A = this chain, B = another copy of it.
Amino acid sequence: MANAPKTAERTTKNYLTALREAHFEEMERNPDMICLGEDIGILGGAFTITDGLQAKYGKDRVVDMPISEAAIVGVGCGAALNGKTVVCEMQFIDFISCGFDQIVNMTATYHYRTAGEVAIPMVIRGPAGAYGGGALYHSQMNEAWFAHSPGLKVVCPSSPTDAKGLLKSAIRDPNPVIFYEIKQLYRDRKIEEDLLSGDDALVPLGKAKVVREGADVTLVTYGQSVWHCMEAAANLEQEGYSAEVIDIRTLVPLDSETIIESLRKTNRIVAVNEAPMTCGFAGEILARISQDAFELLDAPPMRVTRMDTPVPWVEPLELFVLPSPAKITEAALRVCKF
C-alpha cells in the first residue's frame, strides 16, 4: 500500500494529512457538518489535524469545547438529532471513558429505541494506540468496549488512503461511528501515499482488505498491528511460510467473508489486537471463525494481544506487554508447524 511510484510531480501524504483532508472536504461538501472537541479550533487540534478548519469554517462549526467529554458527546448527539452531522474529537481516545454513558446509552441506542425515527450521524474520533511511551492514559485501544455496545460502528484505519476514505465514509454514515486513529502512524513517512479526493477517495465501511497475499496462514488484524503482521509475514517468508495479511479496517460491521475466504486457502489463522486479551476483538474473530468455519481449521486458531494489563510507560515495560512482530511470528510458526 505504501509503494506508489514517487516522482517529481507526485507528492505522497501522511496519515495525519489524510485525516485533515477528510475534514476539509466533508466540511466543504456538507454545510450541516460541525466539529466539536477540545482545542480543535484556535489551536487546530493537539496534533494539528483540524489546523485551519476554524479559520475557514468559523467558530460555530468548529467548536472549542470545555473539558467535558460527556457534554461533547451529548451536545453532538443533540445537534445530530436536530439535523447536523457531527464529528466529535477526543483529544486522546483514552478520555472517551469520561463520556462513556452518553455514547453507549444515549447515542448508540437512539435509532433503536426510536424505532428508526431518529438517526444520529456522528463520528467520535481520536488518537489511539501504544508503542510511543504514552503510558496508561495516552496509549489505549479500547475499541472492544464499543464493539460490544450495540448501535455503534467501529473503524480503525492503518494507512493514509484508508484513514481518509474511511473517515469520509464514517462522516457520511447515518449512524454513530467510533473512529480509532493510530497516532504512531500520523507522521510515519514509510506509509505515505498519494491520496485521491472527493468521492473518489471514499473507502466503504464494512469491507476488509487483503494487504498481503499468502497461502499458509492468515494473519487478521487492524490498526498498528497491520504493520506488525506485515513484518511478521516477512519473517515467516524467511522460514519458508507464506502469510496472508488481512486488515479488517471496520470491526463493526465485520467482514467475516473475506477472512473465511482466506481460510479456504490457508486453513490457519492468527488474530492480533493491541488491546488486552480478555474480550478483545481478536478473541471475537477467533470465536466467529471457530464457530462458523470450524471445518476449515487445520490448526488451533490463535491470538496475539496485549497481556491483560494496562499499558505501562517506559519502553521495556511497554514492549513486554504488547504484541510485536516477533510474538506474531512465533504464534504463526506454531500454527504453521501444527
Contact = CB atoms under 8 A, between A and B. Distances in A.
Interface of A: 94, 97-98, 100-101, 104-105, 109, 112-113, 136-137, 144-145, 147-151, 252, 254, 275-276, 278-284, 286-288, 290-292, 294-295, 297, 299-303, 308-310, 312
Given A97-B105, A286-B286, A112 B310 contact: yes
A237 to B, nearest CB: 24
Contacts of A292: 300
Contacts of A104: 97
A14 to B, nearest CB: 30
A136 B148 contact: no
A284 B180 CA distance: 23
A291 B285 CA distance: 12
Nearest to A283: B287
Tell me how many chains of this kind the complex includes.
2
Contact of A291 (B147, B149, B280, B302): B302
5 contacts: A112-B310, A113-B310, A147-B279, A149-B276, A294-B300
Contacts of A275: 148
Given A105-B97, A109-B310, A299-B294, A278 B286 contact: no
Contacts of A149: 276
A148 B276 contact: yes
Given A97-B105, A145-B148, A284 B278 contact: yes
Contact of A310 (B150, B278, B280, B310): B150
A294 B254 CA distance: 24
A55 to B, nearest CB: 33
B276 A279 contact: no
Contacts of A302: 291
A147 B104 CA distance: 17
Contact of A290 (B278, B286, B308, B312): B286
Contacts of A301: 287, 290-291, 294
Contacts of A151: 310
A302 B278 CA distance: 18
Contacts of A280: 148, 279
Contact of A150 (B100, B137, B276, B295): B276
A281 B137 CA distance: 25
